[in-house]
Amino acid sequence: MPNDTTGNNASRGSFWSNLILHKYSKLIVLFVLLITSLTISFLIASQGAVMGILIIIALIGLPAVYAIVAYPKFGIIVFIIAAFLVNHASRILPDNTPIGIVMDLLTYLLILGFFIKQRTENRWDYFKDPISYFILAWLAYNLLEVINPSASSVLAWVYTVRTVAFLMLMYFVFVFHIRSKDFIKTLIKVWLILEVIAAISAFQQENFGFFDFEKKWLNAEPLRVSLLFISGHMRKFGIFSDPVVFAYNMIAASILCLTLLFRNFKTYKKVILVGMIIFFLTVMMYSGTRASFVLLPAALVMLAILKFNKQILFAVIVAAVFLGILIKIPTSNPSLVRFQTAFAPSKDASFNVRAENQKRIQPYILTHPLGGGLGSVGIWGQRFAPNSYLAKFPPDSGYVRVAVEMGWIGLLLFCTFNFIILKKGIYYYYLIKDPELKIYCLAMILIIFALDFGNYPQQAFVQYPTNILFYLAMAILNVTMRLDLQQRGLQPTIAA
């Protein structure tokens, strides 16, 4: 064994020696390097710093593109990190920088890598399940919306379909490339680390103020400040696009940590998880997002149903008593006041306005079975069809948005799709034998349920990174069942 090690070191040494002495020492190589360096220097001197930045991007970008396609696990991690940071980066970069193209590019590269891998492995059997079939049906319905006779703008459809429909293809990428418990654990660690970064950002915004670039972004549009400044308190958003996305992510991270507590961890790890839950829920209050306050109790009810035992029932009862105290306790704290109003929606003016808006739009939904077309509401509707009826309608609810843009047919398909996801997830949870995989499956069920619940008062699935995490959670449901079957020898195993 020592001789082998020495031999390996010698061979590595000789490799680098040969590379430097016999390759780079040749005149032709030195000549090419000299010409390249002079050319780059001339381009930067003549074209300015922008050219230098483009050259750096090319030198870094081309290897990164290759790595994302050739090494999909690396690509998936980069994709998740980018989904968390893309909105924060947009505030640092100059206005109108098309930062969203980065996410589109990463999506297309991962899909390309998926098809390249499938040519050699041909594992389409991974997708013979109802979730995959409904995703394809939903994608087809989104594509058919381009010929919707009620649509006021094809361009609005183009800009919307790439994030609403094509992004769902990432489910197939995740299912195909997640092939081991170790990789699931890696993804969960990356997920939680990024959530901690987001929580620290909101903590900094609340207690130390906004960074200069954040203040510049806030003040760039007067309407932005008016929407975020409520009851004398500026709502915090961390590294995300808005307070709703931030709050929902803190809830998802809290649920993930809560579920991981059921694993056979060492005590210090459980203490860390409990500390993270407390931190996530504390900074979540800074967002002022009332809808998020009811998501954790809803997830706890689902947890009590799925994992029914005396300990869980006792914990849920204690949590319910504590929640009741928080709801009724007199306070002047603006965050706690906003929390309390979440459980008395009829007394909330904004809730009543939303209810009126939904009532007003119902006749339109009933008379337009295909809806008004993708992108007909929100920023794309205001940009491409500013004078249309739907461009001025505030959807608020994710389900209302689907009903308005894609009609009651689309809403029925969307709700059926979400029901199938939860049904299959719960079915898998009771079938899985491996305790660790069972916990991962349970965590994803609770997160999906919470986001489905939260999609009624707000739009839960339209912004990064929540949309990506939703498809990742769906994929992990499928993968945990597959890995469990492989461990029991009931399904062939493929190298990770």
CA-angle at 225, arms to 219 and 230, nearest 5°: 155
- Mean pLDDT for the chain overall: 84
What tokens were used for 287?
A: 């967002």
* CA–CA separation, 445 and 476 (whole Å): 10
HEC string of 309-353? CHHHHHHHHHHHHHHHHHHHCCCCCHHHHHHHHCCCHHHCHHHHH
d(Cα 322, Cα 350) in Å, to the nearest integer?
A: 26
Whose CA is closest to 152, among 358, 362, 366, 380? 380
Do the beta carbons of residue 295 and residue 454 sit within 8 Å?
A: yes
Report which of residues 196 and 160 the model is more confident about.
196
pLDDT per position as a tens digit, 20-73: 555 555 566 566 667 777 777 776 777 666 666 666 767 777 788 888 999 999
* Nearest by Cα to 253 from 324, 326, 189: 189
Joined together, the tokens standing for residue 184 give: 């699931």
Q: Convert the pLDDT of each residue in 338-385 to its tens digit.
A: 666 666 666 666 767 777 888 888 999 999 999 998 888 888 888 888
Over residues 177-228, the pLDDT tens digits come to: 999 999 999 999 999 999 999 999 999 999 999 999 998 888 888 778 888 8
Please give the sequence-ordered ranges of beta strands (E in DSSP) within 256-343, or none if there are none.
none
User: What are the C-alpha distances in Å from 107 to residues 36, 93, 142, 306?
Assistant: 32, 22, 18, 34
Q: Are 206 and 177 in contact (CB under 8 A)?
A: no
For Cα atoms 79, 258, 238, give the angle at the middle one, nearest 5 degrees: 50
Q: Is the pLDDT reported for residue 389 higher than 60?
A: yes
Q: Which amino acid is at 137?
A: A
Tell me which of 315 and 248 has the higher pLDDT.
Answer: 248
> Residue 234: what are its φ and ψ, rounded to 5°?
-85, 120
Residue pair 475/424 in contact by the 8 Å Cβ criterion: no
pLDDT at 18 over 80: no
